[in-house]
Amino acid sequence: MAKNYYGCIPVLAWMLCHYFYNREHYVWVAERFYPYRLPNPRSSNPHRIYEDLYEPWMDADNFDKYISQTRLSLRNGVEAKEKAGVIMPAVATRLKKICDKVEVTFFCPIVLRLDIDQIDGARRKTAGSGASVGSHEYLITDLRENEFDILFLDVIQDPAVQQLVVDEIAGTSGGTAPADAMDLLETRLLP
């Protein structure tokens, strides 16, 4: 029987990993979707992360403080991938601008589920609140797309999200090239 762990990421994080980071995802996963009565702080609780992304996404609140912090985290990830040589500086420059300015539509939350026993122990990191307060979570920095299921993706009819995520996951898009994904994201930047 699977020992399921859950994570929640914004759709933009999925897109960055899928199109630009060799389909390797950087994900925090918790022992339960709602780790009630476990020592997981809000930042280690997929249910709370879902709420924190969902409300500003639904309200199209481009100025929400959680969205602002998520933008910064994604930007830091771009910088790390550039430093590691995963992406070229010109790509990194464009992706950082996307992280900073893309419409809040691209912060729709995605819920992921994986069988933790299928992930080699060497790939599961105990860090952050897992190390400091014993929260029930792991960081997986190289999670492959065939190692998790997407349980919930509540997309309101946005054609770009439909093409770049929903159709891509379903295999009905014919495969969007990274350059085309980048161009489409750049058409959705805030002034």
Q: What is the per-residue pLDDT across 134-191, written as a single tens digit (0 to 9) for each?
A: 778 899 999 999 999 998 777 767 888 888 988 888 777 778 999 999 999 999 999 9
Secondary structure of the chain in the HEC alphabet? CCCEEEEEEEHHHHHHHHHHCCCEEEEEEECCCCCCCCCCCHHHCHHHHHHHHHHHHHHCCCCCHHHHHHHHHHHHHHHHHHHCCCCCHHHHHHHHHHHHHECHHHHCEEEEEEEHHHCCHHHEECCCHHHHCCCCEEEEEEEEHHHCEEEEECCCCCHHHHHHHHHHHHCCCCCCCHHHHHHHHHCCECC
Instruction: Encode pLDDT of 7-29 as tens digits.
Output: 999 999 999 999 999 999 999 99
Q: In whole numbers, what is the pLDDT of the chain averaged over residues?
A: 91
Q: What is the mean pLDDT of residues 106-128?
A: 93
Calpha distance 5→1 (Å, rounded): 13
Handedness of CA 133, 145, 155, 69 (dihedral sign): positive
**Could you tell me whether strands 137-144 and 124-125 are parallel, antiparallel, or unpaired per DSSP bridges?**
antiparallel
Calpha distance 89→105 (Å, rounded): 26
The identity of residue 157, as a single letter, is: Q
Q: What is the mean pLDDT of residues 99-116?
A: 96
More confident residue, 133 or 105: 105
Q: Out of 34-38, 40-44, 112-116, 128-132, give the one with best mean pLDDT.
A: 112-116
Instruction: Encode pLDDT of 36-52 as tens digits.
Output: 877 777 788 999 999 99
Question: Does the structure show a pLDDT above 90 at 73?
Answer: yes
Question: Does the structure show a pLDDT above 80 at 1?
Answer: no
User: 66-70, 84-88, 155-159, 178-182 — which is least confidently predicted?
Assistant: 155-159
Calpha distance 31→46 (Å, rounded): 10
Instruction: Please report which confidence band the pLDDT of residue 129 belongs to, taking 50, 70 and 90 as the band edges.
Output: low
> Given this model, what pLDDT does residue 142 score?
96
